[in-house]
Amino acid sequence: MLSDFITIHDLSTYEFNEILDLAQKMKEKPHKFRTHLQGKILAMIFQKPSLRTRVTFEVGMLQLGGEAIYLAPADIQLGTRETPYDVAKNLERWVDGIMARTFAHSIVVELAEAARIPVVNALTDLLHPCQAMADFLTLKEKKGDLARLKLAYVGDGNNVCHSLMLAGAKAGTHIAVATPKGYEPKEEIVKQAQADGRESGFSLEITHDPVAAVKEADAVYTDVWASMGQEHEKEQRAKIFAPFQVNQELMAQAKPGALFMHCLPAHRGEEVTSEVIDSPQSVVFDQAENRLHVQKAILSLLMSQKKSV
């Protein structure tokens, strides 16, 4: 039974689909779940700023009958003023769950290992599992059977790319990743995805050719070229990643009616043109909405039970 939500790699195929199915039910009939987490409190730890993560988790808890407490970077100074272990041991005495949006992935892992309450990974430099779950809910809504789809990811082999590969492995989706040389996804995540997808029909292609990746794709996904913490590399990355921009010419290589996807925020004119992100093919705001529903499902499954320690 799921006790934390740190990486999609930890999920069984059943749990992966359980989250998507519950999220769909919560989206269709939210009134049925208004008291599901009544009296529960979620502590939300932020090392990085956020629009979608803060609003969707906070609203999600309110819609489930619970409450959320926002803890800004200066409130805790995680890892400097206080260790993740000590933070976890304090919070478990006061609240019913912890959500953390951090730089180092090890911080979320340490919180989960120490806390007797559920911990949710809201983003680390290694993974962005809540986003990928929302993306696959969106794909399921728009395109149907996930096992019949090809998702092309074009850009930096970053935390979003990692979680999309892991989700694709659970769903049996064909994932094609195109990055510049030296910016491929981490080998450890590639191996996890390949191991997870052995029985699902999953296939993974990693290339340095964006056109090859996008060919016959049902959806084309990109993300910013320089993530938070990489701002000093922005100028250099802009030159290296320029051939990987998702524009109308690249989208034309995908299947007719292919979706355009982005986790947001987007840098228009860099990784994607305004013509693409504002086109009828774009589902970026559907993805953003589905963060709410997926996270409500995750919170409900975790916080309505006792964590095994």
Active site residues: 101, 128, 131, 223, 263, 291
CA distance linking residue 256 with residue 218, whole number of Å: 8
Query: What span, in angstroms and rounded, lies between the C-alpha atoms of 110 and 281?
Result: 40
Map residue 46 onto helix, strand or coil: strand
Nearest one of 22, 18, 15 to 196, comparing CA atoms: 15
User: 304 — phi, psi (to 5°)?
Assistant: -90, 5
DSSP string, 61-94: HHHTT-EEEEE-HHHH-BTTTB-HHHHHHHHTTT
268: tokens are: 């228009």
Q: How far apart are CA 287 and CA 134, in angstroms?
A: 6
Going edge to edge, which strands form the sheet with 174-178?
Answer: 203-207, 174-178, 150-154, 219-222, 259-262
Evaluate whether 271 touches 126 at the Cβ level (below 8 Å): no
